[in-house]
Amino acid sequence: MDDRKAIIVGISGCSSSGKTTLARLLRDIFPNTFILHEDDFYKPEDQLPIRHGLVDWDCAEALSIPDMERALSHIRTTGTFPPTLLSKEDQNSVGASPITETHLQSAKTRVTNWLSPPNPGSLIFSSSSSSPPKICLLDGFLLYHPPTFRHIMSALDIKLFLRVSRSKATQRREARDGYVTLEGFWQDPPGYVDKIVWPNYAASHAWLFEGGDVERGVLDQSVLEREGILVAGMGREERQKIDPDFGETLDWAVGTVMAELERIVLGKKGEGA
């Protein structure tokens, strides 16, 4: 564990892929966990680029990457949320939970049992010889985009990626009321997903897909393995499930984080979910 005070878990994917929902659920399931939102590092609206006559919130130029890097450095060395950062993203609604209360309780029980002696989780979180690590969940639409985000990527101990089809992303995003911003409140203008959100996502993430074809949606396994990016819906028997059931995604994420924590803290070889 060297001298890190927190383990940083990146959760990335297209807008409306379920990142924030998953992060909030994982925060409820794992102890000593808090969320850092990439959206809290937006520049003022008047500094954002204009594309197709629209303000572009969904690109790297819209974010203060140095501020994000400083926040991650603070978290890594102190294990605490940056005291000067006021989160606006937590004021945004992500709608009703996509899983049942029974499913959530089952996930909590799974982690509770893992935390109980003599299971590995008890060694990670209950050791009397050292302070248990905090978990920071970094939720962001654009975390895996080298070279712009290379320093961000290198700060992540665990990299999770959620896929979503274009139709599902459009449906979910257009159902949202809007977003709290530094200036007040933002609502997507007509055509925003087709003109801004999806083209930006495809351009930024083409390097993860075979032949750069994001629409086809087949991820490049060699790239994922090289970068250590773990993807929901890519089990041994079901390699390319683009819109998995969210309950399946939650179960995958819980199992993957458990296995990766064992690998990082205990030196065990993680086997995922």
The predicted pLDDT at position 238 comes to 45
In a domain, 272, yes or no: no
Q: Considering the domain boundaries, does residue 273 fall inside one?
A: no
* Cα 180 to the center of its chain, rounded Å: 19
Q: How many domains does one find in the chain? A: 1
Distances, alpha carbon 129 to alpha carbons 52, 123, 124, 226, 247, in Å: 57, 10, 11, 34, 36
Rounded CA gap, 238 and 180, in Å?
37
Residue 72 lies in a domain: yes
CA distance 148 to 19: 21
The one-digit pLDDT tens for each residue of the chain (273 residues) are 566 789 999 999 998 888 999 999 999 999 999 999 999 999 998 999 999 999 999 999 999 999 999 999 999 999 999 988 877 656 565 567 889 999 999 999 999 999 999 999 988 876 544 567 899 999 999 999 988 999 999 999 999 999 888 888 888 888 877 666 666 777 888 889 999 999 999 999 999 999 999 988 889 999 999 999 999 876 544 455 777 788 999 999 999 999 999 999 888 765 444
Residue type, 101: E
1 domain-assigned: no
The pairing of strands 54-55 and 50-51 is antiparallel
Question: Is residue 216 helix, strand or coil?
Answer: coil
170 is written with which tokens? 């459009």
First-residue to last-residue Cα distance in the chain = 22
**3-class secondary structure, 161:** strand
Give domain status of residue 32, yes or no.
Answer: yes
pLDDT at residue 188, rounded to an integer: 83
Which 3-state string (H, E, C) describes 51-106?
ECCEECCCCHHHECHHHHHHHHHHHHHHCCCCCCCCCCHHHCCCCCCCCCHHHHHH
Instruction: Please report, for the domain that includes residue 262, its CATH number.
Output: 3.40.50.300
Sign (positive or negative) of CA dihedral 262, 266, 267, 269? negative
Residues 6+ apart with CB under 8 A from 90: 35, 37
pTM for the full predicted model: 0.90
- Supply the residues annotated as catalytic: 39
Domain span including residue 104: 6-266
In a domain, 132, yes or no: yes
The verdict on residue 271 lying in a domain is no
- 65: in domain: yes
